[in-house]
Structure 1
């Protein structure tokens, strides 16, 4: 089965272009229809169960049980050489925790092998009065096979090297493409109030393109399938398509499906304009 035959399994999508399928579906039941070992890379951020307008609040035990369902499905549909990047924030537990990291609560429900925790330092946010001001989110990088997974370091090297021309025994000490980025990534948030920002959409929790781009380039290859079961604003669709990957996404809210579809159409128009301009020379 290849991505261009996905409609045989899931029916007609909400939105479709070459190498891209967006479905207005609840992800757990939709994933259950996909075959085993089908996806190369999943990048997603599910609801945090904190009362946002795009989620339904559940008792914590029910929320964790629900997480177990979709986590198991992602594992099943991931190729043996595939990867899973998970962004999960914090929730409160009455009389126990103001803000406990959700991965602490589901560590034993994730069948993947954890490679690394990445800290995304976004630089601006709420100001705390009785606690330190939050300025980061976490990404957990999982793989299915700890001995065989994709890591394209040269695609994501940081060119900001302090001494790029330093040599030892006549040879450059630093890779000419740059250094290995650290596990703390400094990218600004897409601020909803900044209406002038090109990336900005009405979605209240939108990923920056720069963050998702680094993940996609590092952990997948051209023509491979990237998946997001909680699509939201569509950044995880736009980036793979711009990097010549295939994409499948599920989103339970139709208005967010529409946001993602509009962003993809804008990307394709921009690529068409660029191609037409290049053809003039």
Structure 2
């Protein structure tokens, strides 16, 4: 239901038709102090660098489309203080590109390593940073979404309340709670704190990379993160785009949820490795390292 393309995502974006994409879900390189093998821009250049991509994303998104950005925090060099580059980016996306902030989310990774070591594990003057910001942006204040598609299990207390019923009353907070509160809606409305671990060392992708002697992408996010927003913001048959695809977690997740997908990645080894995510769907196919096809879109 999709295709991954090797090349600079800014060039590839410019070849996409206007208003052709339902959701862009991506995790760009963060503005970290230390350089990563996949490439990352320094804090001083980060906002203008990212805005080039954002302008094209705005153009290709449908009016009810969503732009989901997973972006981690960063420390200032040599001091135990935090950078605010991701907030400067958010303000620029709203003021200069004219996106709307539909809502901010927070991805909590309970297994994240304590870093930077000097401040967290040596001097013990800071705690580990376990949360990424996730900006949910939209072209209009009314993007496609439905929180009934991402309900979570009721708490034991809520299950008990549903069984016993609820007497209408006003809470101390001032909220008027009616008998409808005890109606079983199939699950609870989730919060904007998303808790997903990110240790997939035992995943099929990781095992197959080892088998084929391919180095896994070093900064993979868990499939549950794109899964949440694909369910929340799109419908089967919609088109999902990841402009910094890496190992193509987004594309593989979109495929499993019956969405069309497009992935852009400039590192060929990551793109070749990403094919292994689909190996269970085509076990008899040979993994090849041929150059990605020429870009040619026919999006309806």
Bucket of the pairwise TM-score, normalised by the shorter protein: 0.7 to 0.9
Residues 35 and 269 (structure 1 numbering): CA distance in 2 closer, same or farther, change over 3 Å?
same
**Match for residue 145 of structure 1 among 131, 140, 164:** 140
Residue 168 of structure 1 and its aligned partner are, at CA, apart by: 3.5
Counterpart check, 1:21 vs 2:3 = yes
What residue in structure 1 maps to residue 229 of structure 2? Answer: 215
Residues 66 and 144 (structure 1 numbering): CA distance in 2 closer, same or farther, change over 3 Å?
same
> How do 1:30-45 residues align onto structure 2 when only pairs under 5 Å count?
30-45=12-27
Counterpart check, 1:74 vs 2:88 = no
> How do 1:92-131 residues align onto structure 2 when only pairs under 5 Å count?
92-94=75-77, 98-110=81-93, 111-127=98-114, 128=120, 129-131=124-126
Residues 112 and 171 (structure 1 numbering): CA distance in 2 closer, same or farther, change over 3 Å?
closer
CA distance in 2 between counterparts of 1:175 and 1:84 reads: 32
| Secondary structure of the corresponding residue to residue 217 of structure 1 | helix
Name stretches of at least 5 consecutive residues in structure 2 with no aligned partner: 115-119, 168-178, 210-215, 285-300
CA distance in 1 between counterparts of 2:86 and 2:31 reads: 13
CA distance in 2 between counterparts of 1:171 and 1:97 reads: 49
| Secondary structure of the corresponding residue to residue 254 of structure 2 | helix
**Match for residue 53 of structure 1 among 17, 23, 37:** 37
Summarize deviations over 1:55-76 as a string: whole Å, max 9, x none: 0545x44332211100111111
CA contact under 8 A between 1:81 and 1:145: conserved in structure 2? Answer: yes
CA contact under 8 A between 1:157 and 1:180: conserved in structure 2? Answer: yes
Residues 174 and 207 (structure 1 numbering): CA distance in 2 closer, same or farther, change over 3 Å?
farther
Q: Which has the higher strand share?
A: 1
CA distance in 1 between counterparts of 2:281 and 2:125 reads: 43
Counterpart check, 1:266 vs 2:280 = yes
| Secondary structure of the corresponding residue to residue 190 of structure 2 | coil
Larger Rg: 2
CA distance in 1 between counterparts of 2:190 and 2:196 reads: 13
CA distance in 2 between counterparts of 1:70 and 1:126 reads: 30
Counterpart check, 1:227 vs 2:244 = no
CA contact under 8 A between 2:29 and 2:41: conserved in structure 1? Answer: no
Residues 104 and 159 (structure 1 numbering): CA distance in 2 closer, same or farther, change over 3 Å?
same
**Match for residue 238 of structure 1 among 252, 259, 282:** 252
CA contact under 8 A between 2:109 and 2:197: conserved in structure 1? Answer: yes
CA contact under 8 A between 1:190 and 1:207: conserved in structure 2? Answer: no
CA distance in 1 between counterparts of 2:235 and 2:61 reads: 15
CA distance in 2 between counterparts of 1:47 and 1:151 reads: 27
| Secondary structure of the corresponding residue to residue 62 of structure 1 | helix
What residue in structure 1 maps to residue 117 of structure 2? Answer: none
Name stretches of at least 5 consecutive residues in structure 1 with no aligned partner: 1-18, 271-281
CA distance in 2 between counterparts of 1:102 and 1:268 reads: 42
Count, aligned residues? 247
What residue in structure 2 maps to residue 156 of structure 1? Answer: 150
Summarize deviations over 1:7-57 as a string: whole Å, max 9, x none: xxxxxxxxxxxx211000111111112121111000001111331100054
Residue 138 of structure 1 and its aligned partner are, at CA, apart by: 1.5
Alpha-carbon RMSD? 2.3
What residue in structure 2 maps to residue 85 of structure 1? Answer: 68
Stretch of structure 1 that moved more, 248-257 or 46-55: 46-55
